[in-house]
Chains A and B, each alone.
Chain A
Amino acid sequence: MERKVLLAPLDPVHDIGLKMIKRGLEESGLETRLLPPDTPPEEIIRIALDEKFNTLLLSRTLGYGVAELLARFVDLADAAGLRENVKIGIGGMAIRPELAAELGFDAGFGPGTTVEEAVAFVEGREYNPEETIIKKEKTDFTAPYKYTYGNQTMGNLLDKVSQQIISWVGNKTSPGVERAKLREELWDYQSFLKMQENQEFLKKYPELCDQVPKDYYLQGKIHPKTRELTKEELENYQSFITEIKERMKVKKLQHRRKAPVIWNQYGTGCPFMDIGHIKVSESWGADGVVHFDPSWGARTEGFLGGDLTHQEDGTVITPNNLARIYQSLEKSTLWQVRAHRGLNTPETVVLAGKIGADFTKINVCYGSLAAGTDPARLTVDGFYAIKYAAQYKMPFDIVTNEELTGVPAYKAFAGMLIMADLAIKLGARPILQPLFAYSPEMMIGGQMEDNYIDFNAAKIYALRSIIDAPIWPGAPIGFLTQTEDRVQSSMSTSLHALLATALGVDAISIASADEAYSGGPISVPSKIDTLRGVEESFRFLGNAGIKPTAKAEQWQKEIIDGIEGVLKQVAAKGDFVQSLYDGLLGTREEGAYPGRAGRNTVEEI
C-alpha cells in the first residue's frame, strides 16, 4: 500500500528536523510533502484529510504554553475525524514518549530519533529498539601488533638490556613474589565466592605480610584508616547493582573510527561509590574502567581482606572489593587493575587475573623512580608480575608518568621500551603509554608555548618508528592542561582526545573534569562532562586529520636519538637495577628518586 506522509512544522521557524526525516523517508521510498512553518492547524488537518495522507509528522520546539497548544491540535484532529485513519507523531528536542502520550500523539520522537524509527512508525511496524541497541564487545586492541622493531639498533640494545635483567633476576625472590606464588597456588576465586578459602593459604599468607595485614588475618583488626561496609550498606549495594543492571544501556563514543578505546578511572575509596562511578562511565560510553588503589596500599606488604571502605583517594584492593566491582561490570566493559608501582605488584596481577581483569599495568622504572618502591625490589617483582600477566593473558600498559616529575620523555621512553622488550621476551603483550599532556620538560623549556600538538605527536611518531606495538596515551590525557574550571577541563581533555584520535592511537585514559583539581570526591556531572566532550570531539573529527608543524618531526628525531643514547648507557653499564639507582633513566635533579619501600627485601633462593 502506498503511504503518504505529511510533515508540518508547528513552529514559526524551525523545520530542520522534519527536513532530515523527510529525506530519510523519501530514501525509503515514501511519498512526502512538507508544509511551510507556521501553517495554521486547521489547514494542516484539511490538507491531511483532503489529500488522504496516512501519516502526519509534526515538529515543535517546546516552550511555555506549548503543551496546551499541541494538545489543542490533537483535539482538533481527533474531533475532525483525522485520527481515524491518520497517525500523528510529534518530534522536537524535549519530546519524550511520556510527554507524547500525555499530549495524545501516536508517537513521540525526541533527540537521536533514527530514520528507521520514523519509517517504522509510518509503515505501522513495531519499532524494535533492540535492533539499535549498541552492541559492545570487549576487544583486545593489542592483537593486531607484531612487536617487531622498525629501528633494529634500538631492538638490539633492548635485547641486551632484557637479557641482563632476566639473568639478574635469576634465582631472586621477594615477599611480594612469594605472596603472589601462594596466591597463585593456593587461592581459588570460586572457593572464595563460596567462602571456602584454603586454610593453608590463610595460615601461610600472614607470615609474608606487614604488621597491618597480619593483624587483620590473625587478630581481626582492620587498618585504622578503613572500615568494613555494614550489613545494611552491603544489602543496599546488592539491590543497587541488581536494579541498575536491569535498566543499564551501554553507549559508544567512537564516531567513524573504531579506535581509540576509552578508559575512565574510578577509585573513590568506597567500592559502593566506585560502582556508581563505573555505571556512569559505562552509560556515558567509556569502554574500560581502571581500578585506582590508594598509595599506602602500594607501600604495604600484603593485601587486607573484607569489604573495606575509607575516606581517601583510591579503593583498597581486597578480594571482596575486587570481586564486587567485577560482578557489577557490564559484559562489554574492559577492566584494568593497576599493579604497577608497589610492593604487591605480582600478587595484584594474580588476584586480578583470577577474578577476571582484562588488563593490568606494570612499570618498574616509573614505580621505582616516581612511586617510591626500591628499584631492585620492583625489578624482581615486576619480572614476575609480567610473567603472571602473560599467564593470565592480560595485556598491560607501561605508564611513563615519571615524566610528571620532570624526567624528560626520551628517558621515560627508554625505560618503557626496556619493560616492553622484557615483556615480549616473557610472552606478554605490552602497551606503550606515553604521557599525552603539557609535558613538564617542555613546560620548563618553553617548547610547547605555541601548541600542545607538536610534542605529543612527536612522541607517537617516535614510538611508532621504533616498534610495532599498541599505544595508549595517558594517563590521563591532557594532564597539566586542566584547571579547576570544569568546562575548560573537559574541553582540554576533549581536544587531547581529538589529537590522539587523529594520530590513530589504540586507547586513551581520560580523567573526569574535576579529577586533576578535586579537593574532594570526583563528581558524577564532571565525569559526564568529559565523556560527552570526548564524544563530541570524535564527532567533530570524523576521518579528518590534524597537521602538526615541522617541529613535530624535529622533536621526533630528538626523542629517538635521546632514547638510543640512554639505552646505550644502560646496555654499557650491564646492570639495569644499578642504572635506575644511578639516574640513567631519570636523575634526582630531574625529580626521579629511587624509592625506598621494600629496600633489602630481595633474597636469593
Chain B
Amino acid sequence: MQTIIIGIAGTAKNTGKTTTTSSIMSEVKDNKKLSLGLTSIGYDGEDIDNVTGLPKPRIEVWPGVLVAVAEKCLKVSTAEVEVLEVTKFATPLGKVILGKVTKGGRLVVAGPNKSSELRQVLNKLRHHNLNLIIVDGALNRIAPMVEVDGLILTTGAARKSKISELAFETHCLVEVFNYPVLNIEHDTFRFNSILSSDAVDELLRQLETAGTVYINGVIGEKSLMYLLEKAEKLSGKKLIFPDPIKLMVIGDINKIHNIFAQLKHKGIEIGVRKPIKIIALTINPYYPKYRFNSDDYEVSYVDKEKLYEAIAGKVSVNVYNVVEEGGKMLFNDILNYKNNT
C-alpha cells in the first residue's frame, strides 16, 4: 500500500494548522477504509495558546489511529494510547513513542521536531501500512517538512492582518515553491551552507569557473544580500538548492523572493533539486489582536470574503477556508494528489 505523507505548515502561529489538520482528520474518520498516522513537529492540542493565552482548537483522535508523540503527551491527553515502541528520539517532553489509539479522545501532539528524526519516525510509521500520515506543523516552522510528500500551507490574518500585504506575501511564497527543478551534473560544484561573506566570495569564484553550484544546505540572509551586492556577471550560471524549503527558511519571504528576482535578473538560473508540492492553501481570517493597555490578546477577524478573493487571485493553488467550507474539498485534493503520484 502506498502511504502519502502530508505536512501542515503555517506561515505563523494561529493561521489554522490545527483546524486544517482536524478538518482533514474528520474526513479520514468518515471514510472507514482509510488508516491514519499522526505526528507533529511542534506541540499541539493544548487548551490555551502558549504565547497569547487565548483558547486553541484541540485534536481529537479515534481508536486505530497510529501516533508518534512524546511520552509526556499521553499523560495530558484524554485519548488512551497503547505504546508500541519507545524510540530513541528525545524531545523536551520525553522520548517519542509510537502508539495506537485504543480509546478516542483529545490528544496532545508533540513529536520529533527536526528533519533527521522526523524522517526516521516517518519510516517507522510507514511500516504500518497507513494510507495517510499527517505531520502537524508548529508556529512558522517548516524545515522538517522536507520529509513530507506534499504540503498544505496555512496562512491568514495572524501572519499579517493587512490583506493586500498578506496576499502579496502568499504569492511570493507559492512562487518560491514553483522554482524549477534543476539537475546536478558531474561537474557541479558542491557547497555546504553559505554562512559568511568569505563563503560567498568562494561561491562566486566557483560560479565563475564551474558554472553550476549546488548548495547542500542554506544560505544565510546576510550572505544572500552580500551575494547580490557582489554578483555581476552571472549570465548562464546556475544555483541549485536542495528544495524550496531551504529558500523559505532564509528569512522574510518577500525580501528573499525579491533578492532572487534581482539575481535572476542578472542572468543566473535558480532552482531546486527536489520539488515539494503545495497541495492547497488554507486561509484563516482570525488573529489574536494585541492590546497594549492590558498587555494581552483579544480575538479579532479580518473580512473573510475579501481575504479569500485577495489570496485566491494571487496564487496558482486551491485556497480553502476550512472553517467555512469544511475539509471535504481539501481532502479530495489530497486524494487526487495521492492518485497522481
A residues within 8 Å of B by Cβ? 40-43, 45-46, 49, 62, 64, 67-68, 71-72, 74-76, 78-81, 83-84, 96-108, 126
Contact = CB atoms under 8 A, between A and B. Distances in A.
A71 B144 CA distance: 12
Highest count of chain A CB atoms <10 Å: which of B70, B90, B193: B193
Interface in B113-143: 113-116, 138-143
Contact of A101 (B91, B142, B246): B91
B110 A80 contact: no
Nearest to B146: A79
Nearest to B142: A75
Highest count of chain B CB atoms <10 Å: which of A75, A79, A103: A79
Highest count of chain A CB atoms <10 Å: which of B110, B138, B218: B218
A103 B12 CA distance: 12
Interface stretch (B22-30, B41-49, B310-318): B41-49
B51 interface: yes
Contact of B12 (A62, A68, A79, A80): A68
A74 B12 CA distance: 14
B51 A72 contact: no
A101 B222 contact: no
A189 to B, nearest CB: 35
A470 B98 CA distance: 57
A79 B113 contact: no
Contact of A98 (B43, B90, B245, B250): B43
B139 A102 contact: yes
Contact of B140 (A71, A79, A97, A107): A71
Interface string B88-126: 001111000000000000000010011110000000000
B141 A74 contact: yes
Highest count of chain A CB atoms <10 Å: which of B51, B93, B196: B51
B258 interface: no
Contacts of B222: 40, 42
B245 A79 contact: yes
A42 B223 contact: yes
Contacts of A64: 290
Contact of A71 (B70, B138, B220, B248): B138
21 contacts: A42-B223, A49-B193, A71-B141, A72-B140, A72-B251, A75-B249, A76-B250, A78-B143, A79-B245, A80-B193, A80-B217, A81-B217, A83-B115, A84-B116, A98-B50, A98-B92, A98-B93, A100-B92, A101-B43, A102-B139, A103-B139
A104 B116 contact: no
Contacts of A100: 92
A68 B46 contact: no
B141 A75 contact: yes
A106 B116 CA distance: 13
Given A46-B196, A79-B245, A81-B217, A71 B139 contact: yes
Contacts of B221: 42
Interface string B71-101: 0100000000000000000111100000000
Contacts of B90: 106, 126
A79 B246 contact: yes
Interface residues of B, number: 46
B192 interface: yes
B238 interface: no
Contacts of A41: 220
B218 to A, nearest CB: 4
A83 B195 contact: no
Given A78-B114, A102-B139, 12 more contacts: A45-B195, A49-B193, A68-B140, A71-B138, A76-B218, A80-B195, A81-B192, A81-B217, A99-B43, A99-B51, A101-B42, A101-B92
B192 to A, nearest CB: 7
Contacts of B257: none
Contact of A45 (B50, B91, B140, B193): B193
Nearest to A95: B92
B264 to A, nearest CB: 21
Nearest to A80: B193
Interface in B3-27: 12-13
A62 B144 CA distance: 24
Nearest to A70: B139
Contacts of B196: 42-43, 46
A96 B72 CA distance: 13
B8 to A, nearest CB: 14
Nearest to B12: A68
A489 B280 CA distance: 59
Interface string B214-246: 001110111100000000000000000000011
Contacts of A126: 90
Contacts of A75: 140-143, 248-249
A100 B114 CA distance: 13
A75 B290 CA distance: 26
Contacts of B251: 72
A79 B217 contact: yes
A100 B51 CA distance: 12
Contact of B113 (A49, A84, A104): A104
Report, nearest first, the 8 A-B pairs whose CB atoms are least far apart. Answer: A42-B220, A78-B143, A46-B195, A102-B43, A75-B143, A100-B92, A97-B92, A75-B249
B144 A78 contact: yes
A72 B13 CA distance: 12
B13 A101 contact: no
Contacts of B195: 42-43, 45-46, 49, 80
B114 to A, nearest CB: 4
Contacts of B290: 64
Highest count of chain A CB atoms <10 Å: which of B139, B142, B144: B139
A102 B50 contact: yes
A72 B93 CA distance: 21
A84 B193 CA distance: 14
A81 B195 CA distance: 12
B143 A79 contact: yes
A52 B241 CA distance: 24
Nearest to A105: B92
B110 to A, nearest CB: 4
Contacts of B220: 40-43, 45-46, 76
A68 B44 CA distance: 16
Nearest to B245: A79
Contacts of A97: 72, 92-93
Interface in B168-204: 192-193, 195-196
Contacts of A76: 143, 218, 220, 249-250
A531 B142 CA distance: 44
Contacts of B142: 75
B92 A107 contact: yes
Contacts of A103: 42, 138-139, 141
Contact of B114 (A68, A71, A83, A98): A83
Contacts of A107: 92
A65 to B, nearest CB: 9
A107 B245 CA distance: 24
Contacts of B70: 101
A19 B304 CA distance: 49
Interface string B37-76: 0000111101000110000000000000000001010000
B116 A105 contact: no
Contacts of B217: 79-81
A79 B218 contact: yes
A76 to B, nearest CB: 5
A67 B249 contact: no
Contacts of B216: 81
A218 B185 CA distance: 100
Contacts of A102: 42-44, 50, 110, 138-139
A98 B193 contact: no
A129 B301 CA distance: 43
A67 B249 CA distance: 15
B223 A104 contact: no
Contacts of A42: 195-196, 220-223
Nearest to B111: A101
